[in-house]
């Protein structure tokens, strides 16, 4: 008998403002970089090297000039995140047929803005959700928030198999722009990260929307690597979120993830060769390469991660959910096949989620 929660539906939504990478590079050069006295060619080369072709932005490009304080950036985040979150949830309800009042738990994850009341609370007044809805706002998990959110919601549904729960990830990375920070880490970030939202409906094993063929969440594992606090994250400065992004990220991904993956799979009676689908957050081209080499993956195993990065950039917590959606759409796997979702984030941490078709 099936006793695992299942993924019922996924919706991905973007703001309406899409720009090619060269447009964004040109705008940063003209508006912020030229007066710095730095070697602009180096900044442009860093933008090219992240292999991003274009990205969605929360606001029209010209509006970013007026975001001259943390308050203005965060106010814009609250407005756009609430609108985008509402759109994602409405699309999810339409696709799945679930009545909003039947959602038992709404988990939200973000790392690009702050709101109290939180995003989930603000959505309560926009959608006919139950006033008894359990809300679980998650902040600070960064890029691993999508995988960790799936794991935490699945943990909840193990104990409530008759219920349905939703994970909503909203990331507006462009609104963390720090134009005066000319560090290599920030220049890379301005070329790498994009904006978007993802909503995922999960149902318990006894829920009426449970259907044969849905992908099940079998197990999960949280990983914390000691003494890596300055590898990835934010410094909270007067101007807002200032990126911390170490050059050691690819090396850590290439050397520390494999032993953890092998141990996790072994505990579930599996090996890497048993994984038919790798659903990996696209941290950047060097991180993808490091995972391929470290895990000894076949050519093309992370092609959807590369494709997602090229088309929309790194969406932080929403990226791995976009890749999961594309995996479900485009990979026709035999029933019983296994997949592994994985993402890495601040501190340095990782989250592994074992899936079965």
Does this chain's domain 6-203 share its CATH topology with 215-356? yes
Distances (CA, A) of 326 to 26, 104, 303: 31, 26, 11
143 is catalytic: yes
Confidence of residue 39 (pLDDT cuts 50, 70, 90): confident
> Helix 303-312 to helix 285-295 angle, to the nearest 10 degrees?
170
Lowest-pLDDT choice from 65-74, 145-154, 228-237: 228-237
| Mean pLDDT of all residues in 248-254 | 89
Residue 102 class from Cβ within 10 Å (0-12 exposed, 13-18 middle, 19+ buried)? middle
> Where along the chain do its domains lie?
6-203, 215-356
Tell me which CATH code domain 215-356 carries: 3.40.47.10
Nearest of 43, 22, 55 to residue 309 by alpha carbon: 55
End-to-end CA distance of the chain: 15
Residue 178: pLDDT over 70 = yes
SS3 (DSSP) at 343:
strand
For the whole model, what pTM was predicted?
0.96
pLDDT in the model for residue 35: 67
Residue 218 · residue 6 · CB < 8 Å: no
CA distance 188 to 181: 11
Q: Which of 91, 143, 173, 349 is catalytic?
A: 143
Give 198-258 as a DSSP string: EEEEEE-TTSTT--TTPEEEEEEEEEE-TT-TTSEEEEEETTEEEEEE-TTHHHHHHHHHH
Q: Note the CATH architecture for domain 6-203.
A: 3-Layer(aba) Sandwich (3.40)
* b (16+ CB within 10 A) / e for 19-42: bebeebbebbbeebbeeeeeeeee
> Tens of pLDDT along 207-237?
999 988 899 999 999 999 998 889 888 998 8
């Amino acid at each position: 008998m099936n006793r695992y929660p299942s993924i019922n539906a996924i919706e991905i939504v973007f703001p309406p403002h899409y720009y090619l990478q060269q447009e964004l590079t040109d705008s940063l050069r003209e508006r912020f970089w030229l007066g710095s006295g730095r070697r602009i060619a180096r900044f442009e080369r860093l933008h090219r090297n992240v292999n991003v072709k274009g990205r969605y932005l929360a606001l029209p490009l010209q509006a970013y000039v007026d975001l001259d304080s943390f308050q203005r950036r965060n106010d814009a985040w609250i407005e756009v995140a609430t609108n985008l979150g509402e759109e994602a949830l409405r699309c999810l309800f339409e696709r799945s047929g679930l009545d909003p009042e039947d959602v038992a738990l709404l988990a939200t994850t973000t790392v690009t803005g702050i709101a109290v009341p939180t995003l989930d609370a603000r959505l309560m007044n926009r959608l006919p959700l139950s006033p008894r809805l359990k809300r679980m706002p998650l902040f600070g998990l960064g890029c691993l928030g999508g995988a960790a959110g799936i794991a935490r919601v699945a943990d909840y549904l193990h104990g409530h198999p008759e219920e349905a729960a939703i994970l909503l990830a909203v990331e507006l990375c462009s609104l963390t722009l720090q134009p005066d920070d000319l560090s290599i880490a920030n220049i890379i970030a301005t070329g790498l990260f994009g904006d978007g939202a993802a909503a995922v409906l999960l149902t318990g094993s006894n829920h009426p929307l449970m259907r044969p063929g849905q992908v099940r969440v079998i197990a999960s594992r949280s990983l914390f690597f000691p003494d890596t606090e300055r590898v990835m994250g934010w410094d909270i400065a007067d101007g807002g979120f200032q990126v911390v992004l170490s050059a050691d990220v690819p090396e850590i991904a290439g050397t520390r993830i494999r032993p953890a993956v092998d141990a996790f799979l072994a505990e579930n009676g599996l090996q890497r060769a048993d994984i038919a689908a790798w659903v990996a957050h696209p941290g950047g081209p060097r991180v993808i390469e490091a995972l391929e080499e470290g895990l000894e993956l076949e050519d093309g195993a992370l092609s959807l991660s590369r494709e997602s990065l090229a088309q929309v950039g790194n969406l932080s917590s929403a990226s791995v959910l976009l890749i999961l959606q594309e995996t479900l759409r485009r990979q026709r796997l035999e029933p019983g096949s296994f997949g592994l979702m994985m993402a890495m984030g601040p501190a340095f941490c990782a989250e592994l989620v074992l899936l079965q078709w």
